[in-house]
Amino acid sequence: MEERPADIEDSEVRRALKAWRIDPVAWEYAPVGFGDYHWTATDTRQRRWFVTVADLADKTWYGDGPEAAFDGLRDAMDTAVALRGTEPDGLDFVVAPVPTAEGETVRALGAGHAVSVFPLVSGTPGHFGDTLTPHDRGLVLDLLARLHRTAPPASARVLPPDFATRPQLESALREMNRPWDGIGPYAEPARQLLTVHADALRGRLDEFDRRVRELRASDAPLVVTHGEPHPGNLLLDWDTVGLAVPERDLWLVADGASGAEDASGADGADVLVR
């Protein structure tokens, strides 16, 4: 996030690093990413760290409430650590969190946040909305193929096909017949726009449900998936990792169904990729 969290002080985050036995001598807020808050730290041994504080209220795909979000985030970070593993069997492209002295990949920070620590990796991240060149797309597909062929760690959760904001969308579709006053300057224009496209949106929701039924009937094998392998999210974010069909990753990267099949090695891998 570009802005600092309103309810978390730097001193709280620095104190939390004691669980990792990190004593920062240099400390700076990093205004990058979306959804989580980040700092860079250099310790007394000149090791550099990337410290992430997650707002558990934003992790709605794990379930309702901060406790479910914390448990889901912990499982995701444990999965990243297991995937990273050790050479030669580990996946060297996974930037996994560093466990605490007690082996925790995530620690609670207050009632609604959680902190994790990563090695600071040099590199140039992409941006949301960037278009991959054919060469870069091929490199990403190669990495996804390695990920999809990796034995699932015990901590990897099965993630059913769904999208976290569906309840909000359906609620908005039910409430279009009255003005959306008093909730910001964009609310009423958004209602009007939604009204124009309501039938199309309902049709897409019906199509989504039909495809989910087809997918479940196909008994397709589940693999370890990243969840969001777009250019702005490749270097670090593994909080959406989980077991699903390969298309959960490939629709963002592959150039059509044939590219998805080439990457996954699966026959007929166009159930969700069109």
Whole-number Å distance between alpha carbons of 99 and 92:
17
Do residues 118 and 106 make contact, with C-beta atoms less than 8 angstroms apart? no
pTM (two decimals): 0.85
The per-residue pLDDT for range 157-212, each reduced to its tens digit, is: 999 888 878 888 999 999 999 999 877 899 999 999 999 999 999 999 999 999 99
Q: Could you give the domains of the chain?
A: 10-122 (3.30.200.20)
pLDDT tens digits for range 37-63: 999 999 999 999 999 999 998 888 888
